[in-house]
Structure 1
Amino acid sequence: MKEQIVVKPALAIIGVTTRTTNAEEAGPNGRLPALWNAYFGSGIAERTQISNGHLIYALYTDYENGASGAYTTLIGHERGSDAVDEMPAGLVQTAVPEARYLVFKTKKGPVYEVVAQAWGEIWAYFQNSSLERAYTGDYELYDGRTFNPEEAEIEIYIAIKQG
């Protein structure tokens, strides 16, 4: 897995959301597969309130206790700058602050396998790194124009504290 450091501006992301933990996701009652189904059923990518509709964000935010506590996951898109103030029914908006990110790129393969493997490698990376996670908002970024679930290659942005 390759990584690089970048600075990204603040974002407003709208989409569908759930609250979960890593322990829950490791068991049979994980909420993320149902959240992905809700996202695909929402039709959000066709709504006028979004920009860059081809970019799908799986945002992890509102961390309770770092990687070991509860967190909120939102799957959706950037909210367009010309969006009306009213939020479409069933969707929520979350602000992601400007941050420094360590960006990890997965290897190519089946999406559920490469993403799970990448997160395992990310957790191990930060156990032995001088860099510290900021827990202000991390996200997986999927490009819908070229997405193939059997040959996926995903970028994962992990917010890091300033050196």
Structure 2
Amino acid sequence: MNQRIEIQRPAFDLIGISARTTNAAEAGPDGVIPKLWETYFQSSILSQIQSNNSELLYALYTDYESDASGAYTLLLGHEKGDGAMLPEGLCEAHVPAAKYMIFTTQPGPFHEVVPAAWQEIWAFFQTSEITRAYTGDFELYRTTQFDPNHAVVEIYIAIQ
């Protein structure tokens, strides 16, 4: 997996669907993340949103209770367009301006490369002098080029 530090990224807003969970809950059979993805793909969320950069799909991890061991909210969605209204049944999240470390997965099956990348990210920050900010981290999917069997995903981790 490749990694690099990006300069400050401006704030932006997302609209989508969300669920609250923990990494411990996701490790067991009752994880909500697979169900959230299923709901996203079965609904026509993008058609309900006035979006900037509609080809970009975000999986935003936000509202951290503490750190990687605490509860967080995951929102699957798209950038909110200028002047867009929040459609009924969807939620909105603000991603604050931040400096990010970007991890890019190797190509592979989506359901394998993303969890493996998170394992590497957690291990990296356990021994790194770089500190996570826990203000809002996200996976970025470019849907115009997306192949679930050969996915390359960028994971942005907010750092201090």
Question: TM-score, normalization: structure 2?
Answer: 0.96
For the residues of structure 2 that align with 1:149 and 1:31, how far apart are their CA atoms? 20
Stretches of structure 2 lacking an aligned partner (at least 5 in a row): none
Deviation at 1:51, TM superposition (A): 1.3
2:49/2:80 contact within 8 Å kept: no
1:43 alignment partner in structure 2: 44
- Summarize the alignment of residues 33-112 of structure 1 with structure 2, pairs less than 5 Å apart: 33-84=34-85, 87-112=86-111
Check conservation: 1:110, 1:150, Cα contact below 8 A: yes
Q: Which amino acid in structure 2 is aligned with residue 62 of structure 1?
A: D
Runs of 4+ in structure 1 deviating by more than 6 angstroms, as ranges, are none
Partner in structure 2 of residue 21 of structure 1: 22
Q: Counterpart in 2 of 1:2?
A: 2
In structure 1, the residue corresponding to 2:35 is in which secondary structure?
helix
**SS of residue paired to 2:150:** coil
Task: Tell whether the 8 Å contact from 2:4 to 2:103 is kept in structure 1 after alignment.
Answer: yes
Give the aligned CA root-mean-square deviation in angstroms. Answer: 0.9
Counterpart-to-counterpart distance in 1, 2:71 and 2:43 = 24
How far did 1:149 drift?
0.5
Letter in 1 for 2:4: Q
Counterpart of 1:51 in 2: which secondary structure? coil
Report how far residue 29 of structure 1 moved. 0.5
**Does the Cα contact within 8 Å between 2:48 and 2:87 map onto a contact in 1?**
no
Task: Answer whether contact 2:18 2:75 (CA < 8 A) is retained.
Answer: yes
TM-superposed deviation, 1:113: 0.4
Deviation at 1:47, TM superposition (A): 3.2
Report the alpha carbon displacement of residue 52 of structure 1 after superposing the two structures with TM: 0.8
- Contact 1:20–1:72, Cα closer than 8 Å, also in 2: yes
Alignment length (residue pairs): 159
**CA distance in structure 2 between the aligned counterparts of 1:94 and 1:26, rounded to whole angstroms:** 25
Q: What is the CA distance between 1:88 and its match in structure 2?
A: 0.7
Structure 1 unaligned runs (5+)? none
Q: Aligned AA for 1:15?
A: G
Contact 2:49/2:87, CA 8 A, preserved across alignment: no
Scaled by the length of structure 1, the TM-score of the pair is 0.95
One-letter amino acid of the structure 2 residue matched with residue 2 of structure 1: N
1:66-91 Cα deviation digits (max 9, x unpaired): 0001000000000001313xx21110
